Amino acid sequence: MNHEPTSSPPVLLVDDEPEFLKSASVTLRLGGFKVATCQSGGQALELLDRQKVGAILLDIMMPGGQGTQLLPDIVKAHPECPVIMLTAVNNVETAVSCMRSGAFDYLVKPVERERLITSVRRAMEYVEVRNENARLKGYLLDDRLRRPELFERFVTRDGKMAAIFQYVEAIAQTAMPVLITGETGVGKELFARIVHDASGRAGEFVTVNIAGLDDAMMSDTLFGHEKGAFTGAAAQRGGLVAKAAEGTLFLDEIGDISRESQVKLLRLLEDRTYYAGGSDSLRTSTARVIVATNQDLERLREEGAFRNDLYFRLQGHQISIPPLRERPGDIPLLADFFMEQAAAELGRAVSSLSEEAYSLLSGYSFPGNVRELKNLVFDAASMEKGTTIGASFFEGRLAKPFPAARAGAAETPRVSPADLSRMQVLPTLKDAETMLVAEALRRASNNQTIAAQLLGMTRSALNKRLIRRRP
């Protein structure tokens, strides 16, 4: 009996043929798996009692007891471990019997390399998904965070963000890829780092921005090259995939990846293998892959710019970060947080924002999200000399147009001709103006500056209309 000294669960090979054990072990190790071997059912049961394994390859015919007799005992004692049956005889009745007894798969010797690796990988992924479902169920039943300290970098009181935090904790320890979506400035890289920190992985968190990289540059950046692979390759260069071993590889702006590079990334995700430039040796990756984009991958897929198989491979885990305009309650919290940061960096007393400034910022759509708010507050802290910063400082710096997305609205609704056609009696222009002004003031909490922005007019023009309405 032989097994590798490792903390990760190996694949257990149980077969009485030493040559098969040797060849299958080499194949699986090249496929990125750790391997333990036994030559009898008794040895296998002893090993299973003291060591966790990820999957079992069990030969049907062995001296001292057939695998078909051992299968029910393993399924009963270790139901969490998938069993793949091996046989030299292609017999349908035996295959059906094994599957009914709880086998995960059934392979006929000699087994092709790809068939063997694919079957074992499917078995391991099955266990991973099952364990993940159990974790998700536990998190749904208990809304407390196990490690709240990981999320202290986020300043929020929004319920949607709290739900995302729970989901991150639930998926962090799996090896499946993660897709993070959201607009520019919402904190996608920060979420990726937290997934890495929560995973407990021993390796580094390595970041690559895909935008602007053609296929050759991306291949060399990720996979490296051998000496002499191309003109100017004077020395061997290890890629970032190797640097992220046992850690996390974060690919930002994945929507910009070229079609040629998509094929290589798909192989990395499916087989966890790659080739360095100028090398014929297949290498194995132990990095967990996280990708992020602010683009609509579904639309890119429909247009043919993004491969179907890669798209669905990335759908295993998805984190969709809401834009700042959909959580307006976080804006005052973040403004105060960034003001304290700015004061500390500038070495001055902390300034405060006026109530009018809070109202103005809370009604703004923030197309640049948290990053835009941070830049605004830091700019205010460095420019303003007083202890209180008013709304006037921000008014000229907010991007136009000024769509106020209050109460969680994603965008300002517009009245269409169809809406007007449904009205039996049209309001007069005077009545329509009165209603619009009243609604704008309600949404702006009676702040005339914000209400004027909502209506697309100056504050003085709004003030004239309000004066005219007074009795």
The sheet with strand 105-108 has its strands ordered as 2-3, 35-38, 11-14, 55-59, 83-87, 105-108
Q: Tokens in use for 287? A: 């990095």
b/e 325-344 (16+ beta carbons within 10 angstroms → b):
bebbebbbebbbebbeebee
Higher pLDDT, 371 or 466: 371
- CA proximity to 52, closest of 8, 90, 20: 8
103 and 200 fall within a common domain = no
pLDDT tens digits, residue range 99-118? Answer: 888 899 989 888 898 899 98
Does a structural domain hold residue 433? yes
| Integer Cα distance of 463 and 386 in angstroms | 28
DSSP codes of every residue in 368-396: THHHHHHHHHHHHHHH--SSEE-HHHHHT
Q: Do both 75 and 110 map to the same domain? A: yes
Domain endpoint, select from 76, 103, 133: 133
- Does 408 have pLDDT greater than 50? no
At residue 271, the pLDDT reads 82
Last residue of a domain, one of 303, 322, 341: 322
Burial 182-209 (b: 16+ CB within 10 A, else e): bbebbbbeebbbbbbbbbebebbbbbbe
CA 80 to chain centre: 27
**Structural tokens at position 17:** 């043929």
Please indicate, yes or no, whether residues 164 and 236 belong to a single structural domain of this protein.
Answer: yes
Q: How many whole angstroms separate alpha carbon 105 and alpha carbon 119? A: 7
pLDDT, averaged across the chain? 85
Q: State whether 337 and 222 are in the same domain.
A: no
Residue 352 belongs to a domain with what CATH number?
A: 1.10.8.60
Q: Which residue type occupies 287? A: A
DSSP-derived 3-state class of residue 197: helix
Task: Determine which of 212-221, 286-295, 357-366 has the lowest per-residue pLDDT on average.
Answer: 357-366
Beta strands 205-209; 248-252: pairing state: parallel
Do 157 and 302 sit in the same domain of this protein? yes
Do 307 and 357 belong to one domain? no
Work out the average pLDDT over 132-154: 77
Number of H helices, E strands in the chain: 20, 17
In a domain, 377, yes or no: yes
Asked, for residue 146, whether it belongs to a domain, the answer is: no
- CA-CA distance, 42 to 248, in Å (whole number)? 39
Range of the domain at 308: 151-322
User: Are 173 and 302 within one domain?
Assistant: yes
pLDDT at 471: 60
Q: How confident is residue 146, by pLDDT bands cut at 50, 70 and 90?
A: confident
Assess if residue 142 is contained within a domain: no
In a domain, 244, yes or no: yes
Q: Distance of CA 126 to CAs 59, 102, 144, Å?
A: 21, 14, 27
- Determine which of 326-335, 341-350, 367-376 has the lowest per-residue pLDDT on average: 341-350
Provide the CATH number for the domain around residue 271: 3.40.50.300
Global pTM exceeds 0.85 = no
pLDDT score for 142: 66
* Residue 376 phi, psi (nearest 5): -60, -45
How many angstroms separate the CA atoms of 212 and 270, rounded? 25
**Half-sphere CA count of 150, side-chain side, radius 13 A:** 21
- 144 inside domain: no
The reply to whether 174 and 305 lie within a common domain is yes
Vertex 312: Cα angle to 260 and 314 (nearest 5):
75
pLDDT of amino acid 64: 61
CA 262, 217, 193, 241 dihedral sign is positive
- Per residue in 19-55, pLDDT (tens digit) is 999 999 999 988 888 899 998 888 888 899 888 898 9
Which residue has tokens 């046989």? 87
The position carrying tokens 């491969």 is 307
Rounded distance between C-alpha atoms, residue 186 and residue 250, angstroms: 16
Q: How far apart are CA 464 and CA 411, in angstroms?
A: 28
Position 140 in a domain:
no
Comparison of pLDDT for 445 and 373, the residue scoring more: 373
Q: Within this chain, do residues 278 and 226 fall inside the same structural domain, yes or no?
A: yes
Report which of residues 406 and 184 the model is more confident about. 184
For residue 139, is it within any domain?
no
Task: State the distance between the two ends of the chain, measured CA to CA, in whole angstroms.
Answer: 97
CATH number reported for the structural domain that contains residue 434 in this entry: 1.10.10
Mean pLDDT along residues 347-375: 88
Measured CA to CA in angstroms, residue 404 lies from 161, 324, 326, 360, 453 at distances of: 21, 12, 11, 9, 8
213 in Cβ contact with 252 (< 8 Å): no
Distance, in Å, from the CA atom of 181 to the CA atom of 353, rounded to the nearest integer, reads 32
CA distance 193 to 90: 49
Is 411 a residue whose pLDDT tops 80? no
Q: Answer yes or no: do 248 and 356 share one domain.
A: no
Query: What residues have CB less than 8 Å from 50, skipping those under 6 apart?
Result: none
47 and 71 together in one domain: yes
Do residue 179 and residue 235 come from a single domain?
A: yes
Question: What's the number of domains the chain is made of?
Answer: 4
